[in-house]
Homo-oligomer: A and B are copies of this chain.
Amino acid sequence: MNKLKFKILKKVGKARIGQIELNWIKLTTPVFMPVGTKATIKGIILDMLKDPQKIWSEDGIKLILANTFHLYLRPGTHIIKKAGWLHKFENRDKLILTDSGWFQVFSLGLGNTKDSLVKLKPDWVEFRSPYDGSKHFFSPQKVIDIQTDFGSDIMMVLDVPTPWGETNKDIASKHMELTHRRAQMAFEYFLPKYEQARWVLFPIVQGGIFLDLRAKSAEFLSQFAIDWIAIGWLSVGETKEQMYQVLDFLSDKLPESKPRYLMGVWTPEDITEGIKHGVDMFDCVLPTRLGRHWTAFTSKGNIKLRNAQFKDDFWPLDNQCSCFVCKNYSRAYIHHLVKENEMLWAILLSFHNIAFLHQLVEKIKKDMLEN
């Protein structure tokens, strides 16, 4: 009856290796998911991610993310629907996850004054488009309709995360209650359509840094973890200790048999730690963001290709990396491209950084299987 099939192949401590099947596509977890905000991963031709030789992987990257807020406003839901879903629009025949749009709405600046761009109501959120000032709203039902029109394989519920740094438990609790109320509305709307649809919907556990709230949220939302469950609003400002503490705590509270998605991590270390604490899926904007800032992940830390020290450095970005870029290009060449502002540097660095995180996860899986 579940549309998303998940089985755990091996456990090492709390870490799990699993296999997922959804819409005829199989992938193993833990899995790293590159971010394709506006129906493109910045600087990348999605086609490159399919090519096992390029990305260094058995079967390329099979799951990427897109952002509902951006795509809803531009080019607009109707355009993507008319194109034949996001998959056809951006030329991607693998799985696509879309978020609920909340994070970007929130980033517009929450407030309840007359002039604020965003107004939070119990059952929906109002906001004005940053492009043209036009008025919009997102409700739990509406973001499902939008994501349905996108043809998303995996949809997220509209939640109410507690902003980072929030130490007032009453506020965190209020946000959690709102999140639960909305999840209830979302699933009441979604479940009658579940059998006919090809998509799945994930609830998102909230509760800020308060362990008892997180426990309550995990317990309440487990009823909706039909296919998967997500952990929201971590790794966006708390200390690493707080983050790992919540993850560790939650690992026993979330349903064992469902995959767990930790939303929006920031560093390779977060991914490694996340896996140790039983997380099965990650997304991260850093590979392309760093790429556009001349920076490459390496096994010895980040390097900035703009620096003059690389002008006659004929080593690859990372000599332990097997990606297409490291196999074919030198640091000296990429430094030259940066100095000349040839856009190829952003392409190569973004691609390498995605491949680097992908390989990191693959390597952890391999070690777990062999050990």
Nearest residue (CB) in B for A78 is: B312
Interface status of A75 (Cβ within 8 A of chain B): yes
Number of copies: 2
Contacting residue for A342 out of B38, B332, B340, CB 8 A: B38
A45 and B347 contact, Cβ closer than 8 Å, known pairs A39-B336, A79-B311, A330-B89 = yes
Q: How far is the CB of A210 from chain B (nearest CB, A)?
A: 38
Nearest residue (CB) in B for A339 is: B74
The listed residue with most B CB atoms (<10 A of its CB), out of A74, A337, A343, is A343
The listed residue with most B CB atoms (<10 A of its CB), out of A45, A311, A337, is A45
Chain B proximity mask over A314-339: 1 for CB below 8 Å, otherwise 0: 10000000001000111011011101
Interface size of A by Cβ–Cβ distance < 8 Å? Answer: 37
Are the C-beta atoms of B39 and A333 separated by less than 8 Å?
A: yes
Interface status of A232 (Cβ within 8 A of chain B): no
Interface status of A344 (Cβ within 8 A of chain B): yes
Interface status of A169 (Cβ within 8 A of chain B): no
Are the C-beta atoms of A342 and B42 separated by less than 8 Å?
A: yes
What's the Cα separation between A176 and B348 when bound, in Å?
44
Are the C-beta atoms of B342 and A40 separated by less than 8 Å?
A: yes
Are the C-beta atoms of B314 and A40 separated by less than 8 Å?
A: no
A332 and B38 contact, Cβ closer than 8 Å, known pairs A43-B343, A340-B74, A344-B45 = no
Are the C-beta atoms of B42 and A330 separated by less than 8 Å?
A: no
Give residues in A with beta carbon < 8 Å to B: 38-40, 42-45, 47, 70, 74-75, 79, 82-83, 89-91, 311-312, 314, 324, 328-330, 332-333, 335-337, 339-340, 342-344, 346-348
Q: A42-B344, A75-B311, A83-B333 are in contact. List 4 more A-B contacts (CB 8 A).
A: A38-B336, A39-B336, A45-B344, A79-B312
